[in-house]
A and B are shown apart, each in its own frame.
Chain A
Amino acid sequence: MSGAELALTTDGVSGTEAVAARLAAGLRPGDLVALDGPLGAGKTAFVRGLAGGLGVDPLLVRSPTFVLHHVYGAPPRLHHLDLYRLGPDAAIRLLDLDSLLESAPVAVEWAGCADLQPWRPLRLLLDIAGDQLRRIGALDPEQAPLRLLSAWRAAVAGG
């Protein structure tokens, strides 16, 4: 996978969920996790892992492909966005990221559809490395806040 740093390879869905759960331990409101990768790379599995790590029932996690936004927990523990339906140049403004980030961490699937750089995301690229193998790495990690990057570093090392 080109350009991705701080990477690891998981042995499939449960491995992807596990590394996400480890990342969740370091997440706070205001943290943005931007996920990209082809269909089947494990973006939704990753969010399921985040949810589990944040104390949300992972069975609640579904891709919000059509409704754009799922919120898990009340008060919110995790916001789950999917920009796929918004397409390229997604009108990110209508999701009011600033407000969402105040209440909980936010995970975004198909994050590449919008310019999220002003919100300083941890950008993760998931890729299919084999039948079950999935490669997960950080893109432009120096753009993310240090604490968020440390959380990812710990998640990678903890495997």
Chain B
Amino acid sequence: MTVLAIDTASRHRLVVLRAGLAGELVAARTASGGAALPWLDRCLVELGLSDLGAVVVVTGPGSYTGLRSGIAIGLGVAHTLGLPLHGVSSLEVAARSAPDGENETLALVEAGRDGAYAGRFHRREGILEMHGEARRVSLASVAVGEPPPVTLDALDLPGVLPGDPVRALAAAIPAALARPPLALAGLAATYLD
């Protein structure tokens, strides 16, 4: 049984993949931007929808149009096939790209206009948790310290660790599946001004 995971939170980075329930990658497609809907349409044909057990969508913060496209497609697939739809935040996905052994991570997601969405995470006994609230910050105000912040985007900020968007999304699957499906928890995207 596999999971379909969709990340369209960024205007410059689209990811859709299939992975096992524990996050082991089966196949993935990526694109560096453009219209998410027709691209996803093609990718779903290529990746196939057989043997799916759940759908995971990234719920933001991120691009307004991108999130709506990705969540709509995820909801469509889940509803049609009678599968649970689970959500994961774009910041948590980014935080999953932190090096093993780092227990404190600042995750950054590109927000346009020289800004980023920022979330501080810590890992305790293997469980990743955000502390405090996600917020929009200007890139100029981010203090790059140790450990360096992680991102999946091409941020104009020296000293930030670039992560692998495919591996990070796959790695976010087990925790996403452990949370209640969005149908029960409330289907909503996160946008930050």
Q: Which residues of A contact B (CB under 8 A)?
A: 93-94, 96, 98-99, 102, 118-119
Contact = CB atoms under 8 A, between A and B. Distances in A.
A117 B103 CA distance: 38
B146 interface: no
B37 to A, nearest CB: 13
Interface of B: 11, 63-66, 112-113, 191, 193
Main secondary structure of the interface of A (DSSP, over half): helix
A102 B191 CA distance: 19
A98 B113 contact: yes
B64 A94 contact: yes
B115 to A, nearest CB: 9
19 contacts: A93-B64, A93-B191, A93-B193, A94-B64, A96-B63, A96-B64, A96-B65, A98-B11, A98-B63, A98-B112, A98-B113, A99-B11, A99-B63, A99-B64, A99-B65, A99-B66, A102-B11, A118-B113, A119-B113
Given A93-B191, A98-B63, A118-B113, 5 more contacts: A94-B64, A96-B63, A98-B11, A99-B63, A102-B11
Contacts of A93: 64, 191, 193
